[in-house]
Amino acid sequence: MRAVFLALTTIDAVPTAPPPADPALISPEPSWRVHVAGVVTGVVGSTSSFAVVLAGLTAAGASPAQAASGLTVLFVMQGLGTILLAQRHRLPVVLAWSTPGAALLAAGTVPAGGWPAAVGAFALTGVLLAVTAAVPALGDAVARIPAPLAQAMLAGVLVPLCLAPVRALVAEPLLLTPVVLAWLVVLALRPRLAPPASILVALAVTLAVVLPGDGVDGPLLPHLAWTTPTLTWAAVVGVALPLYVVTMAAQNVPGAAVLSSFGYPVPWRSSLAVTGATTVLAAPFCGHALNLAAISAALAAGPDGGPDPARRWLAARTAGLTYLVLALASAALTALVLAAPGEVLLAAAGLALVGTLGSSLGAAVRAERGREAAVVTFVVAVSGVTIAGVGAALWALLAGLAVHGALALTRRGSSSPRDGAAPAR
């Protein structure tokens, strides 16, 4: 991860320009195909994880109205940020809310100081992202965290959410069976569409159950709710720092890697500056964090974004516009999630995160050397312990770093010459 970050910090010095198109590969397809790809990018990226965002905000202490405001402002900010970056650089740069960050919040508890302290931690996360754009040394410090430990921490955070569909299927089999079947069928046919498919079926199940009854409570039109941020030690250490680390390690670096894999130079510093600024602006209105999209970004930057790589930035811009349109439905989506019986939508969100959990676990234990440190990180994160008001995510990372450091010292000591033996040549 350190090598990747060091490479990215020099990217903005290269003129941002799309890769040259091969005329032989460009078919005379209508231009609307690019915009359809942008709509799909925005819809898939949002529907697959908005329930996780709401679960995270609620777990951090947000009221239903504040959670709805958070979803609305995240839609708006990621839409505006995506349009700005795509238009400025003529590159398929797509922003998204931090799904791993939302999972981190969902696995934790309300920090000391309550919801205002959580909001202050969100704002501080944005400041750290923006400072990283100006001070590469800060990002370099994050990059020094061994990638397996960061992935193990994320995997441990995701486990409780991925257990939700198992428990819900046992508790409410009639409600969850259609959701699981939809996820499984679409996973076999079009894996990228499996998460939004399960969410859409869960929404349909919820409507079928709720509408004949009392309906949904709360406003259905988007609104913003202001919360004055405060800061407490527990919120800074237990929310802001883990949220910054997981957003950088699990979203920003992979998101930049996706763009690079399709041949695009990454506007790294400007992307961090925009995501940091939009996170700070979103925080008082209950949004948690924004970052570069990873999986959904491939829909715009890859072949699905059109045959001409030089025009795929239009797909990203359309994705930004799609976010703004979806913001209009954010309050209604929140009301449905809160009205869903038996946590149907949270279970669907857990299905959507199964792939992320699998990739995180694989990356955490892939290397045999130092695997114990990753396993310790994972176990502590799964435990959900809270010590001194600080959640399990940070303690997991500290425990993993301690084991990693101890193993490194042991290896260094065992490799040194002993008993007067001459060093090997």
What are the sequence ranges of the domains in the chain? 2-12+32-148+157-355
pLDDT at res. 401? 92
pLDDT score at 77: 98
pLDDT given at position 23: 45
Say which residue, 416 or 359, is predicted with more confidence: 359
Is the confidence at residue 294, as pLDDT, over 60?
yes
pLDDT band at 230 (very low <50, low <70, confident <90, very high): very high
pLDDT over 60 (residue 164): yes
The Cβ of residue 145 has, within 10 Å, a number of other Cβ atoms equal to 19
The answer on pLDDT for 129 being more than 90 is yes
Q: Is the pLDDT of residue 336 over 70?
A: yes
Question: 253 to each of 294, 359, 422, how far by Cα in Å?
Answer: 9, 15, 44
Cα angle 250, 254, 260 (rounded to 5 degrees) comes to 170
Residue 376 has pLDDT above 70, yes or no: yes
CA distance 297 to 305: 10
The better pLDDT of the pair 15, 189 is held by 189
Best CA proximity match to 292, nearest among 314, 312, 319? 319
> For position 352, what pLDDT does the model report?
85
Alpha-carbon distance values, 37 to 187, 188, 302, 379 (Å) = 20, 21, 10, 40
Does residue 204 carry a pLDDT above 60? Answer: yes
Q: How far apart are CA 402 and CA 396, in angstroms?
A: 10
Backbone angles phi, psi at 291, to 5 degrees: -160, 180
Please tell me the distance from the alpha carbon of residue 98 to that of residue 243, in angstroms, as a whole number: 9
Contact 85, 133 (CB under 8 A): no
Angle, alpha carbons 395-398-402 (nearest 5°): 135
Contact 183, 344 (CB under 8 A): no
Is the confidence at residue 424, as pLDDT, over 60?
no
The answer to whether residues 129 and 81 touch, using CB atoms and an 8 Å cutoff, is: no
- Find which of 16-30, 105-119, 141-155 is predicted with most confidence, using mean pLDDT: 105-119
Contact residues for 130 (Cβ-Cβ < 8 A; gap 6+): 272, 273, 276, 277, 280
What the block records as the tokens of 73 is 């402002």
So what's the pLDDT on residue 33?
Answer: 79
Count of positions (residues) in the chain: 425
Output 413 or 263, whichever has higher pLDDT. 263
Look at residue 423 and tell me whether its pLDDT is greater than 50: no
**Which one has a higher pLDDT value, 29 or 42?**
42
Mean pLDDT check: name the lowest of 34-43, 150-159, 235-244, 384-393: 384-393
Name the more confident of 357 and 119: 119
85-97 pLDDT, tens per residue? 999 999 999 999 9
pLDDT for the residue 26: 44
The mean pLDDT of 252-260, rounded to a whole number, is 89
Q: What does the mean pLDDT of the chain come to?
A: 85
H or E segment to which residue 290 belongs? strand 290-292
User: In this structure, are residues 318 and 82 in contact, taking their beta carbons and an 8 Å threshold?
Assistant: no
pTM of the model: 0.85
Three-state secondary-structure class, residue 96:
strand
Alpha carbons 359 and 371: distance in angstroms, whole number: 16
pLDDT average, residue stretch 157-180: 91
Grade residue 14 by pLDDT with cuts at 50, 70 and 90. very low
Read off the pLDDT band of 25 (50, 70, 90). very low
Element (H, E) at 291: strand 290-292
Give residue 404's pLDDT band: very low, low, confident or very high (50, 70, 90).
very high
Q: Which of 319, 279, 254 is nearest to 44 (CA)?
A: 319
pLDDT recorded at residue 8: 53
Q: In terms of Cα–Cα distance, which of 278, 46, 196, 245 is closest to 54?
A: 46
pLDDT of amino acid 5: 52
pLDDT of residue 267: 93
CA nearest neighbour of 100 among 341, 288, 259, 271:
288
Q: Is 112 in contact with 236 (CB distance < 8 Å)?
A: no
Q: How many whole angstroms from its chain centre is CA 38? A: 19
263, 309 in Cβ contact below 8 A? yes
Predicted confidence at residue 422, as pLDDT, reads: 39
**Rg for the chain, CA atoms, rounded:** 22
